[in-house]
Copies of this chain bind each other. A is one copy, B any other.
Amino acid sequence: MTRLFNEPSAFADEMIDGFVAANSAQVRRVSGGVVRSTVSTPGTVAVVIGGGSGHYPAFGGIVGQGLAHGAAMGNLFASPSAQQVHSVAAAANLGGGVLLTYGNYAGDVLNFTAAQDRLNSEGIETRTVVVTDDIASAPLAEKHKRRGIAGDLTVFKAAAAASEAGYSLDEVVRVAELANERTRSFGVAFTGCTLPGAAEPLFTIPEGRMGVGIGIHGEPGIDETDVPTADGLAELFVSTLLSELPEGISSPDGQRAAVLLNGLGSVKYEELFVVYRRVAQLLEEAGVVIVEPEVGELVTSFDMAGASLTLFWLGTEEGSELERFWRAPADTPAYRKGSVGAVEQAAPAPTEALDAGLTENIPPATDDSRAAAAVAAAALQAIAEVIDENVGELGRIDAVAGDGDHGIGMQRGSRAASSAAVELLAVGSGARTLLQRSGDAWADRAGGTSGALWGVALRAIGDTLGDSDAASGAAVAAGVRGATTGILGFGAVVGDKTMVDALVPFADALEAGIAAGRPLTQAWADAADAATTAAAATAQLLPKMGRARPHAEKSLGTPDAGAHSFALIVQRIATVLKEQDSK
């Protein structure tokens, strides 16, 4: 239960303010997150981490000497936007290139990748290593699909220590990849978490039961059992992790390993220590030499009750490269070891204002295009309204198979876009300018996967409409086709049960209706019905094979959240178009 908040939508921002106020010796705020407030060595690689908020100390809490140079801090459980990642990386850049490293979640991959492209295009050499330590999240053969959980810390720390050692970007990437290969985690959870202002937990687990392998946002796990004893949990953790040793390690006997026992939030230190007692015994019985273990809260999930065990395999040789990097000193708000030596406070740099220039340099537009822009603004307002009405339901639907952030992400994005559109309309923007800049506002404020996709969609429609022409049915259909092409470019295909399952039939129907000579309002309404039918068809009708899902009973009949919100939106816009016609 989250009790202490003001306006729920301001929570993440206020949290970062308070965090920075309390930890100014190590971090300072920049647009999109935080960077070190202390001087780092010029010319070294900047290690930039990030992800959604709600996982403290991940990610801002582990910025500082010996660990990350900066952290992009998204909204609660939502990826930072590409602009946030870019802004933090640019501020953290020391001239030696940038390593982006973060847990493997679709929204993060999308936004960090876009930021990487922009950084590289600006001449800041940027590479990426995603963390994939959660062995329950995909089979070994699909290791690249695994999620990142508490193993974030070992990968980040190895990379950062390599940077402190003066390694080149190539070498830092090599170390980070090796650390990721050598890091394996396995987690369990007993309860869901409740986001600020939410009336109910994101998901629930029956009292006395334990979700095995469940993700840190409640992503489906591999089993559900009764809660074991502390020793029983230690045995489950250790036996599972010893059953999947990294490549090249045939037996745990004689191997050295860092051990992290991580609490997700509501599990107490005392409970973790009772579990750790048995974990250490079991590892020692297996011949593992434990190196500088950590027991505590390293990557949390708000107030979720649960825990995970991470093994970071350092090899048989004492003082190996990975072991030196694990043992290296660090001084961050939430993670400190050894002594980093004397540090100097960096001079504060001006922070980039996110809204700078929204209404500056507005290109000239015709009256026709301004009329189209007014309809677009009305549509954006309608989108914000329909999302507001459905925000709770969208979150619940998303929590069944995803990370539960869809409702709040769409809300932040659509509100930002609608509010930008009002300002842009007032300064005489045409349709292209209004849709492009509103789309940027959506992507930036929403973060996450949906934010990036909707930003692309609005920008594509704006590109097609331009700032001169009236919005003909053909132009709108072409714009929607352009948006579809842009979104498919991220790799989803129809049938994956994502937003594109509704988007593609919608674009097809709209195009066909216009081609058949129907007026836009009619063609849109028909296409919206097609989207609604297609969105409903994304519902899982049978449990996925192979992997047991604690939420199986809930997931049956629940559509994909992105497809569902898409259908709600295009239906509401159909209403807006009808109202416009009747004016």
Determine whether the beta carbon of B266 is less than 8 Å from that of A303: yes
How far apart are the CA atoms of A6 and B269 in the complex, in Å? 15
Measured between beta carbons, the chain B residues less than 8 angstroms from A105 are: none
Measured between beta carbons, the chain B residues less than 8 angstroms from A278 are: 18
Measured between beta carbons, the chain B residues less than 8 angstroms from A266 are: 1, 265-266, 303
Known: A4-B230, A4-B307. A269 touches B53 (CB 8 A): no
Is the CB of A313 closer than 8 A to any CB of chain B?
no
Known: A270-B53, A294-B22, A295-B18. A6 touches B230 (CB 8 A): yes
Determine whether the beta carbon of B272 is less than 8 Å from that of A18: yes
Chain A interface residue bracket vs B = 35 or more
Known: A5-B274, A6-B274, A15-B273. A268 touches B22 (CB 8 A): no
How far apart are the CA atoms of A165 and B54 in the complex, in Å? 40
| Residue with the greatest number of chain B CB neighbours at <10 A, chosen from A25, A227, A269 | A269
Instruction: Give 1 or 0 for each of A10-43: 1 = CB within 8 Å of chain B CB.
Output: 0100111111011101000000000000000000
Instruction: Give 1 or 0 for each of A339-357: 1 = CB within 8 Å of chain B CB.
Output: 1110000000000000000
How far apart are the CA atoms of A302 and B337 in the complex, in Å? 25
Beyond A4-B267, A17-B273, 5 extra complex contacts between A and B, CB < 8 Å: A1-B191, A4-B274, A15-B274, A22-B273, A265-B268
Determine whether the beta carbon of A280 is less than 8 Å from that of B11: no
How far apart are the CA atoms of A231 and B303 in the complex, in Å? 20
Determine whether the beta carbon of A277 is less than 8 Å from that of B2: no
Is the CB of A506 closer than 8 A to any CB of chain B?
no
- Determine the residue in chain B with the shortest Cβ distance to A303: B268
Query: Would you list which residues of chain A between 47 and 99 have a CB under 8 Å from chain B?
Result: 53-54, 56-57, 61
Provide 7 A-B residue pairs closer than 8 Å at the C-beta atoms, listed in order of the A residue: A11-B270, A14-B230, A21-B276, A21-B277, A22-B261, A22-B293, A196-B271
Measured between beta carbons, the chain B residues less than 8 angstroms from A11 are: 270, 274
Among candidates B21, B227, B271, B272, residue contacting A280 with C-beta atoms closer than 8 Å: B21
Measured between beta carbons, the chain B residues less than 8 angstroms from A46 are: none
Query: Would you list which residues of chain A between 268 and 304 have a CB under 8 Å from chain B?
Result: 268-278, 280, 292-297, 300, 302-303
How far apart are the CA atoms of A233 and B233 in the complex, in Å? 38
Among candidates B2, B191, B276, residue contacting A22 with C-beta atoms closer than 8 Å: B276
Among candidates B25, B270, B305, B337, residue contacting A54 with C-beta atoms closer than 8 Å: B270
Determine whether the beta carbon of B230 is less than 8 Å from that of A2: no
Measured between beta carbons, the chain B residues less than 8 angstroms from A337 are: 336
- Determine the residue in chain B with the shortest Cβ distance to A280: B21
Instruction: Give 1 or 0 for each of A208-246: 1 = CB within 8 Å of chain B CB.
Output: 000000000000000000010111010000000000000
Measured between beta carbons, the chain B residues less than 8 angstroms from A292 are: 25
Known: A14-B277, A25-B292, A339-B341. A3 touches B56 (CB 8 A): no
Known: A267-B4, A269-B61, A292-B25. A14 touches B336 (CB 8 A): no
How far apart are the CA atoms of A273 and B337 in the complex, in Å? 23
Residues of A within 8 A of B (CB): 1-6, 11, 14-19, 21-23, 25, 53-54, 56-57, 61, 190-191, 196, 227, 229-231, 233, 261, 265-278, 280, 292-297, 300, 302-303, 305, 307, 334, 336-337, 339-341
Shortest Cβ gap from A27 to chain B (Å): 12
Determine whether the beta carbon of A280 is less than 8 Å from that of B22: yes
Shortest Cβ gap from A8 to chain B (Å): 11
Measured between beta carbons, the chain B residues less than 8 angstroms from A21 are: 276-277, 280, 293
- Determine the residue in chain B with the shortest Cβ distance to A276: B18
Measured between beta carbons, the chain B residues less than 8 angstroms from A295 are: 18-19, 22-23
Shortest Cβ gap from A77 to chain B (Å): 11
Among candidates B23, B271, B302, residue contacting A4 with C-beta atoms closer than 8 Å: B271
Among candidates B22, B227, B302, B307, residue contacting A270 with C-beta atoms closer than 8 Å: B302
Shortest Cβ gap from A193 to chain B (Å): 9
- Determine the residue in chain B with the shortest Cβ distance to A14: B274
Determine whether the beta carbon of A18 is less than 8 Å from that of B277: yes
Shortest Cβ gap from A365 to chain B (Å): 41
Shortest Cβ gap from A491 to chain B (Å): 32
- Determine the residue in chain B with the shortest Cβ distance to A267: B4
Measured between beta carbons, the chain B residues less than 8 angstroms from A307 are: 4
Determine whether the beta carbon of B271 is less than 8 Å from that of A3: yes
Measured between beta carbons, the chain B residues less than 8 angstroms from A302 are: 268, 270
Pick the 4 closest A-B CB pairs, nearest first: A18-B277, A18-B273, A339-B339, A4-B271
Measured between beta carbons, the chain B residues less than 8 angstroms from A334 are: 269, 296
Shortest Cβ gap from A269 to chain B (Å): 4
Determine whether the beta carbon of B340 is less than 8 Å from that of A300: no
How far apart are the CA atoms of A274 and B11 in the complex, in Å? 7
Shortest Cβ gap from A303 to chain B (Å): 5
Known: A275-B18, A295-B18. A1 touches B305 (CB 8 A): yes
Measured between beta carbons, the chain B residues less than 8 angstroms from A272 are: 4, 18
